[in-house]
């Protein structure tokens, strides 16, 4: 089983209430080969919500509110689900503060990217799950 970012499967769970459907990911879910998750929703954040970025190891909303605890809780819940289904691979949304792998926004809310991993992606990697983004497909 593969864990995938729910927004890539066509679910409207992004911060702006939208989705970023990837046809390959959507097909994996339709075939029962993948399970969609949204760590931010599972962490208790609403949809829509203010944009968030990682700065100095903390996840901050654009208004300055620290939402690290919610991101951590969501990552923990998604990682538990990955363990339950024996997932060895995750396909996650590039640049996301939850799901980005190798590149995330720099915390300035200016669109600049820096090397790094989102909270859930980092948890997956630490647990031995291979993480890819939709850009790798």
Tens-digit pLDDT profile for residues 93-123: 999 999 999 999 999 999 999 999 999 999 9
Distances (CA, A) of 16 to 35, 46, 50, 100: 22, 10, 8, 17
Say if residue 50 is exposed, middle or buried (CB neighbours under 10 Å; 0-12, 13-18, 19+): middle
**Mean pLDDT on 2-17:** 99
CA distance 27 to 123: 25
Tens-digit pLDDT profile for residues 28-58: 999 999 999 999 999 999 999 999 999 999 9
Distances (CA, A) of 88 to 14, 33, 79, 133: 24, 12, 11, 14
Distances (CA, A) of 65 to 49, 51, 58: 12, 11, 10
pTM over 0.85: yes
Note the pLDDT of residue 102: 97
Map out the domains of the chain as residue ranges. Answer: 2-136
């Amino acid at each position: 089983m593969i864990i995938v970012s729910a927004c890539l499967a066509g679910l409207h769970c992004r911060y702006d209430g939208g989705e970023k459907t990837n046809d390959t990911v959507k097909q994996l879910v339709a075939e029962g080969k993948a399970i969609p998750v949204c760590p931010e929703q599972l962490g208790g954040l609403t949809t829509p919500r203010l944009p968030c970025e990682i700065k100095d190891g903390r996840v901050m909303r654009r208004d300055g509110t620290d939402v690290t605890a919610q991101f951590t809780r969501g990552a923990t819940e998604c990682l538990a689900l990955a363990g339950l289904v024996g997932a060895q691979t995750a396909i996650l949304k590039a640049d996301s503060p939850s799901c980005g792998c190798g590149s995330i926004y720099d915390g300035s809310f200016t669109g600049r990217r820096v090397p790094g991993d989102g909270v859930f992606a980092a948890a997956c990697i630490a647990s031995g799950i291979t993480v890819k983004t939709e850009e790798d497909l």
